[in-house]
Amino acid sequence: MEIWNEAKECMSRDQMTQLQSARLKKVVSNVYHNVKFYRQKMQEMGLEPGDIKGIEDLNKLPFTTKADLRDNYPFGLFAVPKTEIVRIHASSGTTGKPTVVGYTRKDLDTWSECVARCLTMAGLGKDDIIQVAYGYGLFTGGLGAHYGVENLGATVVPMSTGNTKKLINMMIDFEVTGLMCTPSYLMHIAEVIEEMGVKDQIKLKSTINGAEPWTEAMRVQIEERLNIKAFDIYGLSELMGPGVANDCEFHKGMHIFEDYFLPEIIDPNSKDTLADDVTGELVLTNLNKEGMPLLRYRTRDLTSISHDVCDCGRTTARLSRFKGRSDDMLIIRGVNVFPSQIETALLSLDETTPNYQIIVDRVGSLDNLTVKVEVDEKFFSDEIRELEKLEKKIAYAIQQMIGLATKVKLVEPRSIERSEGKAKRVIDNRKFD
Amino acid sequence: MALKQLSVFLENREGRLEDLFQVFEANNIEIHSFSLAESSEYGILRLIVSNPEIAKEELRAVDFSASLTDVVAVRLPGGFDSLKSVTDAVTSEYNIEYMYVLSTEKDKQAIVFKIKNVEEVEKSLEEKGFTLIH
Please answer yes or no on whether B5 and A382 come within 8 Å at the CB atom.
yes
**Overall average pLDDT of the A133-153 stretch:** 95
**Overall average pLDDT of the A364-380 stretch:** 84
Q: Which residues contact A93 (CB under 8 A, 6 or more apart)?
A: A66, A69, A70, A99
Per-residue pLDDT, A92? 63
Give pLDDT tens digits for A76-122: 999 999 999 999 999 865 455 788 999 999 999 999 999 999 999 99
Share of chain A above pLDDT 90, in %: 67
Rounded Cα gap, residues A24 and A34, in angstroms: 15
| Neighboring chain A residues of B19 at a CB cutoff of 8 Å | none
Q: Are A176 and A203 in contact (CB under 8 A)?
A: yes
Give pLDDT tens digits for A31-57: 999 999 999 999 999 999 999 999 999
- The candidate with the shortest Cα–Cα distance to A133, out of A204, A189, A79, is A189
Here the ipTM equals 0.82
Domain ranges of chain B: 3-69, 71-127
- The candidate with the shortest Cα–Cα distance to A12, out of A263, A314, A320, A318, is A314
> Which has the higher per-residue pLDDT, A259 or B91?
A259
| Neighboring chain A residues of B5 at a CB cutoff of 8 Å | 382
Give pLDDT tens digits for A270-320: 999 999 999 999 999 999 999 999 999 999 998 999 999 999 999 999 999
Per-residue pLDDT, A353? 64
Q: Which of B3, B56, B64, B65 to mutate to test the interface with A (most CBs of A within 10 A)?
A: B65
Q: Are A121 and A244 in contact (CB under 8 A)?
A: no
Using CB atoms and an 8 Å cut-off, which of residues 3-62 of chain B contact chain A? 5, 7, 9-11, 13, 16, 37-39, 41-42, 44, 46, 60
Cα separations (Å) of A144 from A177, B78, B127? 19, 76, 75
Per-residue pLDDT, A241? 95
Q: Which residues contact B17 (CB under 8 A, 6 or more apart)?
A: B10, B45
Cα separations (Å) of A304 from A266, A329, B30? 9, 19, 66
The partner residue sitting opposite B39, judged by closest CB among A377, A388, A412, is A388
| Neighboring chain B residues of A382 at a CB cutoff of 8 Å | 5, 7, 44, 46, 67, 69, 114
Rounded Cα gap, residues A414 and A423, in angstroms: 9
Rounded Cα gap, residues B35 and B45, in angstroms: 6
Task: Report residue B54: phi and psi, to 5°.
Answer: -65, -40
**Overall average pLDDT of the A20-25 stretch:** 98
> Which has the higher per-residue pLDDT, A277 or A183?
A277
SS3 A10: coil
On the question of a cis peptide bond just before residue A98, with omega within 30 degrees of 0, the verdict is no
Minimal-distance CA residue of chain B relative to A391? B41
Fold of the B3-69 domain: VC0802-like (3.30.2130)
Residue A371: pLDDT over 70: yes
Q: Are A64 and A294 in contact (CB under 8 A)?
A: yes
Residue A412: pLDDT over 70: yes
Beta bridge partners of A129: A155
pLDDT tens for chain B, 134 residues long, are: 789 999 999 988 888 889 999 999 999 999 999 999 988 889 999 999 999 999 999 999 888 999 999 999 999 988 888 888 888 888 767 889 999 999 999 889 999 999 988 998 999 899 989 999 98
Domains parsed from chain A with CATH numbers: 6-327 (3.40.50.12780), 332-428 (3.30.300.30)
**Overall average pLDDT of the A210-221 stretch:** 82
Per-residue pLDDT, A191? 85
The partner residue sitting opposite B44, judged by closest CB among A376, A384, A413, is A384
Cα separations (Å) of A428 from A232, A299, A394, A424, A425? 22, 20, 20, 11, 10
Is some CB atom of chain B closer than 8 A to the CB atom of A413?
A: yes
- The candidate with the shortest Cα–Cα distance to A354, out of A414, A402, A401, is A414
Please answer yes or no on whether B10 and A376 come within 8 Å at the CB atom.
no
Q: Residue A378: pLDDT band by 50, 70, 90 thresholds?
A: confident
**Overall average pLDDT of the A400-416 stretch:** 87
Per-residue pLDDT, A419? 57
Is some CB atom of chain B closer than 8 A to the CB atom of A410?
A: yes
Per-residue pLDDT, A421? 54
Is some CB atom of chain B closer than 8 A to the CB atom of A378?
A: no
User: A335-339, A418-422, B97-101 — which one is most confidently predicted on average?
Assistant: B97-101
Least confident of A96-105, A333-342, A403-412: A333-342
